[in-house]
């Protein structure tokens, strides 16, 4: 089943503008839901695309495996999940259902949660003048594992150096993803720093996620309290002071 929570930031939307010399065109493609969750026995779910504009549009839908390596998000081709149809044409005021289908669902499910991303790319009309927007939605998909206990994250937070950079790091020892939102840091004896008012990122099951914090290096060296929401639940984490040579 999919999440119906109205958190627009759960799907990443990217607008890449190619300047041709006319004012920007309106964004017409809409995608729903913003996060897809399938049970370990569920074979498919629905993604809806709609056209709120006055002219027809075309879009391409692709699915990628979503991993985290060296603290960063990595997308790779997958044969475990597919989108049908992979190309859509939607008339003005119309909507189109895309099936998100598990391939080989009869096989034994993985013991831990699997993560994917659906990329929805609007295809700009050929030969159109003006500023054309290449609109992309990047929608998280989570497939529950076969473990008897419910999927949930178990996070450990810390600050470390990665080469010459300083990073805030979250390690997830749990069997479910962690959606991180509304992150802030209150250094000892200094004003609070807002890291993100909306989505800060995800930490996948069994993975590690890094955030660059060089901009706030001096504040994090002092130690303080990290405040954020994990899957909408507020938490507070004490981070100890660090040596500048650490």
Going from N- to C-terminal start, the domains of the chain cover: 8-143, 155-239
Give pLDDT tens digits for 78-99: 999 999 999 999 999 999 999 9
Residues 6+ apart with CB under 8 A from 83: 47, 61, 62, 63, 98, 99, 100, 101, 118
pLDDT of residue 190: 96
CA 74 to chain centre: 11
177-81-174 Cα angle (round to 5): 15
pTM (two decimals)? 0.86
Is 118:66 a contact under the CB 8 Å cutoff?
Answer: no
Domains 8-143 and 155-239 share a fold: yes
The CATH code for residues 155-239 is 2.60.40.3970
Q: Which whole number is the average pLDDT over 41-62?
A: 96
CATH architecture of 8-143: Sandwich (2.60)
């Amino acid at each position: 089943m999919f999440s119906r929570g109205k958190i627009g930031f759960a799907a990443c939307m990217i607008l890449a503008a190619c300047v041709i010399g006319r004012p920007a065109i309106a964004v017409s493609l809409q995608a729903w839901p913003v996060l897809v969750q399938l049970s370990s026995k569920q074979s498919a779910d629905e993604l809806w695309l709609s056209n709120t504009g006055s002219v027809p549009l075309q879009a391409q839908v692709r699915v990628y495996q979503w991993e985290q390596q060296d603290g960063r998000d990595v997308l790779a081709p997958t044969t475990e999940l597919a989108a049908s149809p992979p190309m859509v044409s939607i008339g003005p005021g119309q909507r189109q259902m895309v099936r998100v289908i598990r391939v080989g669902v009869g096989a034994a499910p993985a013991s831990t949660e699997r993560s994917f991303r659906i990329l929805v790319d609007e295809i700009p009309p050929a030969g159109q003048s003006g500023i054309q927007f290449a609109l992309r939605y990047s929608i998280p998909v989570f497939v529950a594992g076969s473990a008897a206990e419910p999927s949930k994250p178990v996070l450990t937070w810390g600050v470390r150096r990665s080469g010459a950079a300083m990073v805030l790091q979250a390690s997830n020892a749990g069997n479910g993803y962690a959606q991180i939102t509304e992150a802030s840091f209150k250094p000892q004896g200094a004003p609070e720093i807002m890291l993100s008012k909306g989505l800060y990122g995800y930490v996948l099951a069994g993975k590690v996620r890094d955030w660059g914090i060089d901009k706030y290096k001096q504040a994090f060296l002092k130690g303080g309290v990290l405040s954020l929401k994990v899957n909408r639940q507020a938490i507070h984490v004490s981070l100890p002071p660090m040596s500048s040579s650490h």
